[in-house]
Structure 1
Amino acid sequence: MAAAIVLVVGVLLSYASGKAFIPSEVLTDQVLSNIHHAERQAVTLAPGDEVASLGLRHTVPTVLEEAVLVDVVDGDSIDVLVGGKEKTVRMIGINTPEAGGTGQEKGTAEGAQAANHLRMILHVGDVVYLQKDTTDSTKNGQLLRFVWIAKPTSFTDVNEVRAKMLNAKMLAEGYGVAHKDKPNDAYFTIFKASQLEAYHADKGLWAEGADWSYAI
């Protein structure tokens, strides 16, 4: 019954916002409950602890590795200097349109907008803080990380995640879609909720009216 009510609410939100209804993206009652509890039961942990809450899908280490931004590759990837080496970081849990490339991965106008939005948030030389999930890197050697633009006082507070974690911030501001990259999906519940709220509020790229997400 509760899930059905949420489904109806999703439909009403779609009509109210003028957006096409996407059943697979409707928040379930359990997801809404998880977000609610995560907001109310945020905790502060010391570096080295592992954190989990009803808002996170599994525990994650809270050790943060400091890095310096070298360049923005596109809306979901950055180049950084970390440990004396230049590395490309692929942000976990978010996909944005391509900003460059050829063939099937050719650049798009939306991709350029997403990359430019990220450049408004981060500038060359800025310090960021990298957090691992489960897998260290892609098969191409890109680091898989959650990227914090400021050290969090809580790793589970939803508002702090959306404000300080670049992955979530880009979704909350409407410049990407949430991607469940198992087993690196600790923050996926928060990411998905952030994307949906931006979608229905016409934020960022969603304000253009076109459903560019299917081209990612």
Structure 2
Amino acid sequence: MVLAVIDGDTMDVDLGGRRATVRFIGIDTPEKTGGYLPAECGGDAATLRTAELLPPGTEVHLQRDQELYDRYDRLLAYVYRAADGLFVNRYLVLDGYAGTMHFEPNTQHRAVLDTAEAAARAAGRGIWVDCGGPNQRLEGAS
């Protein structure tokens, strides 16, 4: 169950009474304002959209890949909303809130995510039209 969205590609969940931070595999959303890194174009929108998709209390299914944790001790997962099966990682890319970011060996859904990114670019959705792509620092962001 979702406890809180941290940013566009990270959330806290309850795993059987234990709080765990989950990093969505295969995607990267821009950095939000007020985070640890300088804010990027589209970061606040991505965080808001993820929070709309996964409000606290939302039941999710987490699918792992080859590695269970990243170097920051975050659980790595493909995230599916339990109520309707929405593949959240794919949706965020397809709707232009995220770009793909693949790290071997965690590439089980690489083709699906790459296809979603190509569709978002072609349609001019989100960060592709608003920002010129991912990782574009906001003016004046430090």
TM-score by length of 2: 0.87
Instruction: Work out the percentage of aligned pairs sharing the same amino acid.
Output: 29
The answer for unaligned runs of 5 or more in structure 2 is: 138-142
Question: 1-side partners of 2:83 and 2:35: how far apart?
Answer: 33
Equivalent position SS for 1:164: coil
Higher relative contact order (CA 8 A, sep 6+): 2
Residue matched to 1:117: 49
Q: CA-to-partner distance for each residue in 1:106-128, whole Å, 9 max, x for gaps? A: 22341001001111211111100
Residue matched to 1:71: 4
Which is richer in helix? 1
Larger-gyration structure (1/2) = 1
Between the two proteins, the alignment pairs up a number of residues equal to 136
Which is richer in strand? 2
* AA of the residue aligned to 1:193: T
TM-score by length of 1: 0.59
Q: CA-to-partner distance for each residue in 1:46-84, whole Å, 9 max, x for gaps? A: xxxxxxxxxxxxxxxxxxxxxx11111111111111121
Equivalent position SS for 2:97: coil
Question: 1-side partners of 2:63 and 2:75: how far apart?
Answer: 10
Match runs of 1:1-216 below 5 Å = 68-99=1-32, 100-102=34-36, 105-150=37-82, 164-208=86-130, 210-215=131-136
In 1, are the aligned partners of 2:4 and 2:13 still within 8 Å (CA)? yes
Equivalent position SS for 2:20: strand
In angstroms, what is the RMSD of aligned CA positions? 1.8
The answer for unaligned runs of 5 or more in structure 1 is: 1-67, 153-162
* AA of the residue aligned to 2:35: G
Residue matched to 2:140: none
Question: 2-side partners of 1:214 and 1:96: how far apart?
Answer: 8
In 1, are the aligned partners of 2:10 and 2:21 still within 8 Å (CA)? yes
